[in-house]
């Protein structure tokens, strides 16, 4: 199968190459749990390799958790940071899926509803990112300030 070039709003004017690999019986529910996990892993791998924002969220999330461990945050606060990071990355995966489906339907043609779908999906990621930054800031900023004041005084 040859690759199909699809233009995506997230990549400005640069075409995104998406391989067209066929999966036999992809319309059926998998009877094998391990195979289901492999498909999910393939989606994570695809997003990590092709989506710059997914990689950025992974790096920032890892940094936030590392800082939480460094500052010895209580487990509940670490869990809260982890949940918000998980929400952002989940919405980034959904954004990628929505963009792929929209591109599949409209191909290279412009359609106002396709723009709305892609923009709203991206907006959901943005909203969750802002909330995640707020949560991490509320939990980590006091520790930063303590460290800063201790180093000055």
Alpha helices in the chain (DSSP H): 33-50, 52-70, 75-106, 112-152
How do residues 93-105 score in pLDDT, each as one tens digit? 999 999 999 999 9
> With 70 as the cut, is the pLDDT of residue 23 above it?
no
CA 120 to chain CA centroid, nearest Å: 15
pLDDT averaged over the chain? 87
User: Which one of 24, 77, 92, 107 is the catalytic residue?
Assistant: 92
pLDDT at 83 over 80: yes
**Distances 142 to 59, 136, 145, 148 between C-alpha atoms, Å:** 22, 11, 5, 10
Instruction: Determine the angle formed by the axes of helices 52-70 and 112-152, rounding to 10 degrees.
Output: 30
Residues sharing a CB contact under 8 Å with residue 15, sequence separation 6 or more, in sequence order = 5, 6, 7
For residues 109 and 48, the model is more confident at 48
What is the fold of 32-152?
Helix Hairpins (1.10.287)
Ranges 23-27, 88-92, 107-111: which has the least confidence: 23-27
- pLDDT at position 7, please? 43
What digits encode the pLDDT tens for the residues 123-151? 999 999 999 999 999 999 999 999 999 99
- pLDDT by residue (tens digit) across 44-80? 999 999 999 999 999 999 999 999 999 999 999 999 9
Comparing CA positions, the residue from 63, 58, 72 lying closest to residue 136 is: 63
Residue 97 burial (C-beta neighbours within 10 Å; 0-12, 13-18, 19+): middle
Clarify whether 92 is annotated catalytic: yes
Identify the DSSP state of 28.
S
- What is this structure's pTM? 0.77
DSSP annotation string for 123-136: HHHHHHHHHHHHHH
């Amino acid at each position: 199968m040859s690759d199909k070039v699809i233009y995506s709003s997230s990549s400005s004017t640069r075409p995104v190459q998406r391989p067209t690999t066929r999966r036999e019986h992809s319309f059926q529910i998998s009877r094998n749990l391990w195979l289901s996990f492999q498909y999910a892993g393939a989606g994570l791998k695809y997003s990590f390799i092709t989506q710059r924002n997914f990689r950025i969220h992974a790096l920032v999330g890892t940094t936030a958790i590392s800082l939480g461990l460094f500052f010895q945050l209580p487990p509940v606060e670490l869990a809260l940071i982890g949940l918000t990071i998980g929400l952002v990355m989940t919405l980034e995966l959904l954004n990628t899926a929505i963009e792929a489906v929209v591109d599949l339907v409209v191909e290279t043609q412009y359609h106002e509803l396709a723009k709305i779908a892609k923009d709203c999906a991206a907006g959901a990621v943005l909203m969750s990112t802002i909330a995640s930054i707020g949560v991490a800031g509320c939990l980590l900023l006091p520790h930063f300030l303590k460290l800063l004041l201790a180093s000055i005084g």
